[in-house]
């Protein structure tokens, strides 16, 4: 599935909430529209520094909302979306997600043999005799043509990226250096409440951010909330580092980084979106992380069936770590993910199981909709006095019981 040629239309406005603390309701039509965006975005070919197809989709989305959404690009090609006009009195909040996914980039073509570099993290056994599809972009009509090939050779020691050679099923002279390729996988589908697709990481998060912003942009109190979409995350947070170094977002900004993180038994798919407290590199900004967890705890009192989780998620690294290194207040919300980076049975393969197989990434649709709701609630209540800061709660406990320790 490729992106629709028609600009994505604004989804039907949500029904008004019946209570200041209850969830914004989503109409059936809006939910289906959001799922359509999810399917389209996660099916787009993308790679580090080759995110043009996803960027074009977002630009069409903004064009359909030109009167209420502003789009700008920083010097590294990261995208920033704001409400028009935006509020500047409060420290801004940026919901962030990255636009790339582990994929191949063509280096050269010699007859039916194509040499490609792999930008991203996938274990070596998954490359053996794997099928890929190479996308040739036609500048005249904007359409992609795909060509199937089979990997015949891997140089895992090449720097900065692994190099593979793949043999085309049919010879073509139209593939060029710079074209991108990805694993050959079935068409995306939603089946029994599960999305199976090419690239949940991180395009499902891009979709969730846009869906949430569709609702947030109509909330008068949330004019200080924007979106930041970064490039080249899969090769070391390069877009995020560039944005942090150049101050593409103000130093006082609070960053809520969205991810799709490998699911473990203690962080199951379908148990709700996750407030991620850290990754394999760092723990995230505690004040912001704790604030969001407190907001969701208060929200769950009014919506007890709403599912969410609070986990470390050490199976990968997140841009929140990069932003924290440059002095930003940052944390992460994530979707629990199956077949992380398209790798089936990672633990079995690392233990010696062969052959290794690539597969579609998958997430629960309920988790996706839950993340949209979580973003809306957090945007609404992050600066609200209705959820007291953690220190206020500590002071309250001291006033109640501190006298027990008085001499």
pLDDT tens digit sequence for 310-348: 999 998 899 999 999 999 999 999 999 999 999 999 999
Cis ω for the linkage preceding 160 (within 30 of 0)? yes
Q: 142 and 199 share a domain? A: no
Confidence at residue 25, expressed as pLDDT on a 0 to 100 scale? 60
The pLDDT, as a whole number, for residue 9 is 57
pLDDT of the residue at 87: 82
Asked if residue 294 has pLDDT above 90, the reply is yes
In this prediction, residue 141 carries a pLDDT of 54
Residues 234 and 156 in one domain: no
Q: State which of 151, 183, 215 marks the end of a domain.
A: 183
Residue whose token pair is 């239309």:
9
Q: What is the pLDDT of residue 220?
A: 82
> Do 329 and 372 belong together in one domain?
yes
Same domain, 271 and 135: no
Average pLDDT of the residues in 266-285: 96
> Of 183, 209, 234, which marks where a domain is finished?
183
Specify the pTM.
0.91
200 neighbors 363 (Cβ within 8 angstroms): yes
Which backbone phi and psi does 335 adopt, to 5 degrees?
Answer: -105, 130
CB 324 within 8 A of CB 318: no
The predicted pLDDT at position 92 comes to: 95
**H/E element holding 361?**
strand 361-364
Domain assignment present for residue 405? The answer is: no
pLDDT value of residue 222:
87
Residue 140 confidence (pLDDT): 52
Residue 163 included in any domain: yes
94 and 130 in a single domain? The answer is no
355 occurs within a structural domain: yes
The answer, yes or no, to whether residue 13 has pLDDT greater than 60, is no
pLDDT tier at 3 (50, 70, 90 boundaries)? very low
Give residue 10's pLDDT: 55
For residue 22, is pLDDT > 80? Answer: no
Last residue of a domain, one of 183, 200, 224: 183
**Spatial strand order in the sheet of 361-364:** 189-191, 194-197, 361-364
Structure confidence at residue 178 (pLDDT):
95
Average pLDDT over the chain reads 91
| Confidence at 284, pLDDT banded by 50, 70, 90 | very high
Burial class (CB in 10 A: 0-12, 13-18, 19+), 88: exposed
Number of domains in the chain: 2
* High-pLDDT (> 90) share of the chain, %: 82
Is 140 a domain residue?
Answer: yes
Confidence of residue 21 (pLDDT cuts 50, 70, 90): very low
What is the predicted pLDDT for the residue at 171?
84
CATH number where 112 lies: 2.40.10.170
Q: Is the pLDDT of residue 23 over 50?
A: no
In tens, the pLDDT along 343-390 reads 999 999 999 999 999 999 999 999 999 999 999 999 999 998 788 888
Same domain, 203 and 351: yes
Claim to verify: residue 179 and residue 66 sit in the same structural domain = no
- Asked if residue 283 and residue 205 are part of one domain, the reply reads yes
For residue 12, name the pLDDT band (cuts at 50, 70, 90).
very low
pLDDT at 66 over 60: yes
Query: Which residue, among 116, 100, 99, 189, has the nearest Cα to 150 in the 3D structure?
Result: 116
pLDDT digits (tens, 9 = 90+) for 135-167: 987 655 567 889 999 999 999 999 999 999 999
The parent domain of residue 288 ranges over: 28-101+188-391
Q: Which tens digits make up the pLDDT trace of 175-208? A: 999 999 999 999 999 999 999 999 999 999 999 9
For residues 60-70, give the mean pLDDT.
95
Q: How far apart are CA 137 and CA 35, in angstroms?
A: 26
Q: What are the DSSP E strand ranges found in 91-197?
A: 93-98, 103-110, 113-119, 131-137, 144-155, 162-168, 180-183, 189-191, 194-197
**Whether 115 and 66 share a structural domain:** no
């Amino acid at each position: 599935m490729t992106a629709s040629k028609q600009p994505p239309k604004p989804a039907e406005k949500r029904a008004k909430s019946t209570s200041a603390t209850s969830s914004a309701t989503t109409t059936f039509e809006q939910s289906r529209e959001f799922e359509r965006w999810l399917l389209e975005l996660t099916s787009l070919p993308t790679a580090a520094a080759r995110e043009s197809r996803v960027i074009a989709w977002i630009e069409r989305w903004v064009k359909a909302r030109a009167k209420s959404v502003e789009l700008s690009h920083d010097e590294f090609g990261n995208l920033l979306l704001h409400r028009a006009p935006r509020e500047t009195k409060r420290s801004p909040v940026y919901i962030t997600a990255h636009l790339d996914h582990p994929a191949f980039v063509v280096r050269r073509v010699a007859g039916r043999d194509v040499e490609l570099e792999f930008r991203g993290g996938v274990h070596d056994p998954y490359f053996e005799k794997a099928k890929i599809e190479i996308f040739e972009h036609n500048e005249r009509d904007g359409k992609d043509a795909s060509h199937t090939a089979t990997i015949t050779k891997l140089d895992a020691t090449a720097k900065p990226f692994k190099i593979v050679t793949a043999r085309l099923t049919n010879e073509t002279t139209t593939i060029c250096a710079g074209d991108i390729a990805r694993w050959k996988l079935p068409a995306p589908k939603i089946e029994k409440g599960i999305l199976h697709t090419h690239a949940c990481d991180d395009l499902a998060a891009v979709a969730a951010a846009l869906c949430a912003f569709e609702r947030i942009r109509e909330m008068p109190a949330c004019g200080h909330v924007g979106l930041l979409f970064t490039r080249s995350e899969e090769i070391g947070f390069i877009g995020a580092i560039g944005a942090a170094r150049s101050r593409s977002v103000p130093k006082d900004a609070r960053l809520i980084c969205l991810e799709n993180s490998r699911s473990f038994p203690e962080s199951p798919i379908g148990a709700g979106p996750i407030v991620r407290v850290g990754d394999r590199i760092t723990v995230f900004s505690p004040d912001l992380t704790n604030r969001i967890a407190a907001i969701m705890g208060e929200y769950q009192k009014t919506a007890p069936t709403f599912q969410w989780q609070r986990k470390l998620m050490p199976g990968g690294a997140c841009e929140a770590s990069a932003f924290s290194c440059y002095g930003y207040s940052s944390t992460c919300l994530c979707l629990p993910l199956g077949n992380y980076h398209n790798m089936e049975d990672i633990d079995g393969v690392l233990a010696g199981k062969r052959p290794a197989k690539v597969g579609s990434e998958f997430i629960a649709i309920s988790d996706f909709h839950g993340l949209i709701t979580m973003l809306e609630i957090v945007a609404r209540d992050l600066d609200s006095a209705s959820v007291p800061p953690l220190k206020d709660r500590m002071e309250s406990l001291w006033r109640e019981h501190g006298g027990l320790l008085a001499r």
